[in-house]
Each structure stands twice: as structure tokens, then as C-alpha cells.
């Protein structure tokens, strides 16, 4: 693999131990994937340092103590606790305090303490052809598919890339990887963001690690709809990119998206596929928590939640969680939406979500943290991504419905399905 003079200097430790360690990891990654060289990156969405694992936080602190600083604009991914309002989720105090230590490491390194899976709603908006890195699959998919930036699903290597400002040239950083493999014939008009999530989950299972090209949307999907579509596809499949001609830069037509190649397969996206996804995550009717905001809610979604809850009250015995980034929360608070939500009885939570907080039963947290996952009868959700991970990680029943029906469920105390 060809290294620039600066790459070689970092690898030799001439720019400090932190950058030497980062470059060593990136060179190892690049050689494993046959990368010819490294590219400059313009943005990094990096590991938060998950407080469920003390060693994870200490690793971030170690890098900061070595003098690591991010070389490009960087934001931190979702965490294990709301760092400010952790008490309202029932998180152990020791868990929250440890998560705050991770925030300290990020501040020392110069990365933004966004703690969100949707940093683009918080102002991190990499533009077309920007090489970037991301630990979060939803970010990779949105930036590749909607913004036209270039990213793989990177894991902890995103931290090393942020420190070095460089990344191996392979995968979706190459033009030849950014082409369609499967054609999706859209024969339904999804009615809401939740339907796009259900449709994405249906399609992702069939595309696997390919690149789906969508033909047939009657109108241009909104940013929230595209966000939900990609997040769900990345959950049921291994995708890093999809293409909607006329939306995904630079593809104006499906012919351009396939660059003259024949699709591997034709996937039919119809109402039956949407219904099947809702049915897959319908475990009875009993619940004690309703959650909206996966991926972390945008400002427009916060506005929608406030309109649905304005002047109304969450039913007794039901918790309603609204999860979003702290940046969007601040904007929504200034607009009065947070006050409306909280007056109705909703809990507005930042930095984390059900599948990422102390609810998880598949994690093995440090015993000293005193994490005891609660026993939940069920969670009502409006996101296929959250439904999949709640079932796998929290191991409790799921009830997937639309956003409007989820809010109605919280208000009435009775589960309201998407389809009667």
C-alpha cells in the first residue's frame, strides 16, 4: 500500500503516539482489504465510549491522555445513558457518571459530544464526494445514499481515521462499488415514515450487502422517510448504500445507477411486504413503554410529536419516550415543542435509546455499575430498526405500529395497530 510522506511520518511516531497507533491500525485495515493507498477524509462519526463496558471508556481516555486530537470535524455516536437527564430513564448513577467520563475524553480530543445516531440533524452534513468514516450504520447509509458522501461501516477504525485524518481507499470510497446491484420495483405508496421503515426492512432482507436501486416512487421521499428507509435496510441486511434516482448524487436515472450492468435480482416492494414487517413484530398487545424517535428524531419529527400530543395526556401506567439528539432537543425546546411533550407526560431523552441504554440483556456490563435490566412486558415502537434490536438485545415483546398509532397507544393505554 502506497503511503504519503505524512502517512509514513505518523506511522513512525513522529507526530505522537496517538497518531502512530491510529495509522498503524489504518494501515493494517487497508492491507487486509487490498487498498492501494489512503485518502484524506473530511468528517468522522466516531465511537462514544460505551459506559456499559468500563474498559471501553478507559480506551477513549487513554487516547486522550496520549494527546490524541481529531484532525477533522468529528461527532460522537449514541451512548448508554442520557448524560444530563439520566434519572428519568432509571439508569444507574454509576453508569451515567462513567458515560460522562467518556464525554470528557471526547472534549479533550476535540470531537463534538453529539451522542446521536443522526448527527446530520445536528448539523454534521458531509457533502457530495466527501470521504468520511462512521461507526454507525445509519449514518453510513444516509450519507452515502442521500448526501453522496463516501463511507464504509467502520467500527472502531473510525476513531483512528478521525485522529489521522486519513482512511484506506477501498469499499464505498471507490466508484466501482457505488453502483446498483438489485432493482426494487416500488408498487406501493408508503403512507408515513413508519411505512418507509417497514418497507426498508422488507427490502434489506433480500438485498443483503448489495446496493438497491428504487424505481417507482410516485413522489420524492422526504429526508425523514429516506432516513427511516435506510436505517431499516441496514438492520435486516448488510447494506451501506441505496440509490433513489434523482435523489442520490449523481444518479439521475436507474440506468446511470447500474452503469450498464444487469441487476442481480428484481425485488417487488408492495403493500404486502410492508404488512409482513408489521406482522413480524407484533407480539400480542401487552406493553408498558411506548417509544418514538428511532433513528434519533429530527426537528420535523419533534414538531409532529408535539402536534399529536398538544393538549392531551399520556395514559396512567404508560411511559412514552421520545428520543432525539441534544442539538435537536435544544431547537425543539426553543420552539416550545419539548414543553408541549413534557406537559403531556412524555419523557424527552437524548444521547441514548431503549436498545442502547441499560435495558439491554445481551450486554455484559462491569458488575460494579450495578446494571439490572428491568423486566418489560413489551415495547410499542414505530421503527423496524428499533423493533429488531429490542427483540434481540432487550429480549422483550415488540409491537410495531405507525408513529400516529404509537402516540394514540400512549394516550389510550391500548395498543393501536397500523392495520386494523
pLDDT digits over 152-183, tens only?
999 999 999 999 999 999 999 999 999 999 99
Confidence tier at 420 by pLDDT (50, 70, 90): confident
**Buried b or exposed e, range 329-361, using 16+ CB within 10 angstroms:** bebbeeeebbebbeebbbbbbbbbbbbbbbbbe
Residue 91, C-alpha cell as written in the block: 439508569
Peptide bond into 250 cis (omega under 30): yes
State yes or no: pLDDT of 143 exceeds 90.
yes
**Buried b or exposed e, range 20-46, using 16+ CB within 10 angstroms:** bbbbebbbebbeeeebeebbebbbbbb
Q: Calculate the CA dihedral of residues 319, 323, 326, 330 and round it to 10 degrees.
A: -70
The C-alpha atoms of residue 77 and residue 348 are separated, in whole angstroms, by 18
pLDDT at 139: 98
The string of pLDDT tens digits covering residues 357-393 is 999 998 888 888 989 999 999 999 999 999 999 999 9
State yes or no: pLDDT of 269 exceeds 90.
yes
The average pLDDT across 390-398 equals 96
pLDDT at 364: 84
The average pLDDT across 279-283 equals 96
pLDDT at 306: 98
Report which of 61, 44, 255 is spatially closest to residue 152, judged by C-alpha positions. Answer: 44
SS (H, E, C) 47-96: CCCCCCCHHHHHHHHHHHHCCCCCCCCEEECCCCCCCCCHHHHCCCHHHH
The string of pLDDT tens digits covering residues 76-103 is 999 999 999 999 999 999 999 999 999 9
pLDDT at 363: 86
The string of pLDDT tens digits covering residues 45-82 is 999 999 999 999 999 999 999 999 999 999 999 999 99
The C-alpha atoms of residue 356 and residue 49 are separated, in whole angstroms, by 12
State yes or no: pLDDT of 294 exceeds 90.
yes
Confidence tier at 261 by pLDDT (50, 70, 90): confident
Give domain 281-412's CATH architecture: 2-Layer Sandwich (3.30)
Confidence tier at 25 by pLDDT (50, 70, 90): very high
The answer to whether the 5-175 and 281-412 domains have the same CATH topology is yes
Residue 60, C-alpha cell as written in the block: 477513549
State yes or no: pLDDT of 260 exceeds 90.
no
Cα separations in angstroms, 62 against 18, 111, 328, 355: 9, 15, 30, 27
- For 182, phi then psi, to 5°, come to -130, 135
Give domain 5-175's CATH architecture: 2-Layer Sandwich (3.30)
Domain spanning 179-278, CATH class: alpha beta
The C-alpha atoms of residue 385 and residue 235 are separated, in whole angstroms, by 6
Total length of the chain:
420
Helix, strand, coil: what percent of the chain each, to 5?
45, 15, 40
Share of the chain above pLDDT 90, in %: 95
The average pLDDT across 136-147 equals 98
Q: H/E element holding 293?
A: strand 289-297
The C-alpha atoms of residue 257 and residue 144 are separated, in whole angstroms, by 13
List Cβ neighbours of 233 (8 Å cut-off, separation of 6 or more): 141, 200, 201, 203, 204, 207, 212, 239, 242
**In this structure, are residues 415 and 409 in contact, taking their beta carbons and an 8 Å threshold?**
yes
- When the pLDDT of each residue in the chain is averaged and rounded to a whole number, the result is 97
pLDDT at 236: 97
pLDDT at 264: 84
Which residues pair with residue 319 across a beta bridge?
289
- Kindly list the domain boundaries of the chain, sorted by start residue: 5-175, 179-278, 281-412
Amino acid at each position: 500500500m502506497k503511503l504519503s510522506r505524512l502517512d509514513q511520518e505518523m506511522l513512525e511516531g513522529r507526530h505522537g503516539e496517538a497518531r502512530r497507533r491510529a495509522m498503524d491500525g489504518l494501515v493494517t485495515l487497508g492491507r487486509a482489504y487490498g487498498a492501494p493507498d489512503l485518502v484524506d477524509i473530511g468528517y468522522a462519526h466516531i465511537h462514544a465510549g460505551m459506559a456499559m463496558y468500563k474498559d471501553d471508556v478507559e480506551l477513549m481516555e487513554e487516547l486522550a491522555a496520549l494527546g490524541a486530537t481529531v484532525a477533522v470535524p468529528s461527532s460522537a455516536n449514541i451512548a448508554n445513558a442520557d448524560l444530563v437527564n439520566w434519572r428519568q430513564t432509571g439508569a444507574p448513577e454509576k453508569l451515567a457518571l462513567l458515560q460522562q467520563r467518556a464525554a470528557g475524553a471526547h472534549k479533550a480530543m476535540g470531537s463534538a459530544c453529539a451522542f446521536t445516531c443522526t448527527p446530520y440533524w445536528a448539523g454534521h452534513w458531509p457533502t457530495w464526494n466527501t470521504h468520511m468514516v462512521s461507526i454507525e450504520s445509519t449514518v453510513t447509509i444516509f450519507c452515502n445514499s442521500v448526501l453522496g458522501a463516501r463511507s464504509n461501516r467502520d467500527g472502531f477504525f473510525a476513531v483512528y481515521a478521525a485522529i489521522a485524518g486519513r482512511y484506506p481507499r477501498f469499499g464505498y470510497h471507490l466508484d466501482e462499488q457505488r453502483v446498483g446491484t438489485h432493482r426494487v420495483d416500488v408498487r406501493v405508496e408508503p403512507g408515513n415514515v413508519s411505512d418507509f421503515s417497514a418497507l426498508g426492512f422488507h427490502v434489506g432482507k433480500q438485498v443483503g450487502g448489495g446496493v438497491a436501486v428504487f424505481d417507482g416512487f410516485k413522489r420524492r421521499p422526504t429526508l425523514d422517510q429516506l432516513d427511516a428507509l435506510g436505517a431499516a435496510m441496514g438492520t435486516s441486511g448488510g447494506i451501506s448504500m441505496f440509490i433513489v434516482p434523482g435523489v442520490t448524487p449523481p444518479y439521475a436515472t436507474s440506468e446511470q445507477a447500474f452503469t450498464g450492468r444487469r441487476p442481480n435480482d428484481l425485488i417487488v416492494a408492495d403493500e404486502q411486504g410492508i404488512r409482513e414487517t408489521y406482522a413480524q413484530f407484533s407480539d400480542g398487545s401487552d406493553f408498558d413503554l411506548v417509544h418514538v424517535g428511532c433513528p434519533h428524531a429530527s426537528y420535523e419529527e419533534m414538531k409532529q410529536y408535539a402536534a399529536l400530543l398538544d393538549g392531551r395526556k399520556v395514559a396512567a401506567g404508560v411511559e412514552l419516550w421520545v428520543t432525539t439528539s441534544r442539538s435537536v432537543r435544544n431547537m425543539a425546546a426553543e420552539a416550545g415543542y419539548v414543553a408541549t411533550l413534557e406537559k403531556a407526560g412524555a419523557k424527552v431523552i437524548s444521547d441514548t435509546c431503549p436498545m442502547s441504554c441499560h435495558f439491554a440483556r445481551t450486554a455484559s456490563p462491569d458488575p460494579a455499575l450495578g446494571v439490572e435490566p428491568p423486566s418489560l412486558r413489551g415495547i410499542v415502537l414505530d421503527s423496524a430498526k428499533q423493533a429488531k434490536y429490542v427483540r434481540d438485545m432487550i429480549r422483550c415483546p415488540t409491537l410495531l405500529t405507525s408513529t400516529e398509532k404509537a402516540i394514540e397507544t400512549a394516550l389510550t393505554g391500548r395498543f393501536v395497530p397500523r392495520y386494523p
